[in-house]
Structure 1
């Protein structure tokens, strides 16, 4: 069993060429960082069609954490000389957990249950406002996280770029004092953003996801 993450940038046709380049550059760098942290054979991502990407995560219990890290990375991308803190780039992400039947020379040439579940779920999201969904062969698991991820969507709708920044570094495992140093703000300011982004609820959901998925397959 593996997790496949399939994603599309939201309204990317409205991005300027320079902003889209910045988003894609950030993504490519993040994919390299994830391989360094988790292991080159554990994670593999590819960008295709210019505004979509897909990846295989062998440790499927980590797939939600990785998906949120990628989303927060995209949400925190800033435009040159930007004055507001509104999120400028967003993404729809579908996680499929299932069998990995065929490994081709590239992710696009690979196939299996996890790919099909992820791809079909993302296709079904194109006409709704959802930002993240999960599909597995287990209906009880789907039912639990359909509700949980719906609530997560509502939390993430309220993020600003500043919130997304803090979520991103928390998902990388940094402490408040370390984040304060990176962002050049005070530790109380980090703590305030941490509360504003709903980190306590997100952290509880991640722990639940990791525990349940690890014992379900």
Structure 2
């Protein structure tokens, strides 16, 4: 079993040239990091991307890292993020399933996970949803698509500053380390962390990792 992540940038035609360049640059940086662990992610059509993860339980954390990496971006060159509305976002589908047709190029690969991811992303184009999951187990789908709907509602209230803090938390940094990285106080980091709903997000991630590992890891 693998996870396939398929995503479209939201309203990318409305991005300024500067913002789009920043988004594509950040995506490439994130994909280079993922490549070091054996994952393969590619940008296509200029505003979409797809990737393969060999460990399905890591998929949601990877999605949130990519999401927050671009959520924190704006057109300004300021080193410290201001409390601005998010301008760059994505719609993303995680498909978990078999890898039936493996090729060197992800564009030529196929299988259950690819079909689940691609078809789910297509179905989301008419829905007010940004994050969805499709697996062979309907009970898993029902649980997490309800949870992910709540997550989308929470994330829609983020500012660029909130997304920035969540990004570093997802990377495993402590509050003091984030404060040093962003050149702000630890109390400011803590305030942004609470405002963004980190405790609930972390609980969702831990639940996802547990359930997906139980159902789909070790060749299941």
Under a length normalisation based on structure 2, what TM-score does the superposition of the two structures give?
0.94
2:32 is matched with which residue?
32
Alpha-carbon distance in structure 2 between the residues aligned to 1:50 and 1:18:
14
Alignment match of 1:60 (pick from 52, 56, 60): 56
Matches within 5 A, 1:2-13: 2-13=2-13
The separation in 2 between residues aligned to 1:81 and 1:216, in whole angstroms, is: 45
After superposition, residues 1-217 of structure 1 pair within 5 angstroms as: 1-36=1-36, 39=37, 41=38, 43-80=39-76, 85-217=84-216
- Cα deviation, residue 77, structure 1: 1.1
Query: For the aligned residues, what is the CA RMSD?
Result: 1.2
2:215 counterpart SS class: coil
The alignment partner of 1:216 has SS state of: helix
In the alignment, structure 1 segments of 5+ residues that lack a partner are: none
Q: TM-score, normalised by structure 1?
A: 0.95
> Against the structure 1 CA distance between its residues 84 and 202, is the aligned structure 2 distance closer, same or farther, given a 3 Å change threshold?
closer
Checking the alignment, whether the CA contact within 8 Å between 2:83 and 2:159 is kept in structure 1 is no
1:80 shift after superposition: 2.4
Please say if residues 2 and 97 of structure 2, whose CA atoms lie closer than 8 Å, have aligned partners that are also in contact: yes
Q: Deviations over 1:25-53 (max 9, x none)?
A: 010011112233xx1x2x11000000000
What is the deviation of 1:56? 0.2
- Cα offset, 1:57, TM superposition: 0.6
* Structure 2 residue matching 1:104: 3-state secondary structure: coil
Q: Report the secondary structure of 2:3's partner residue.
A: strand
Give the Å deviation of 1:17: 2.3
Q: Counterparts of 1:68 and 1:80 in 2: how far apart (Å)?
A: 23
Q: Structure 1 residue 101: deviation in Å?
A: 0.8
| Structure 2 unaligned regions, length at least 5 | none
**1: CA distance, partners of 2:176 / 2:61:** 21
Distance in 2 (alpha carbons) for counterparts of 1:9 and 1:61: 23
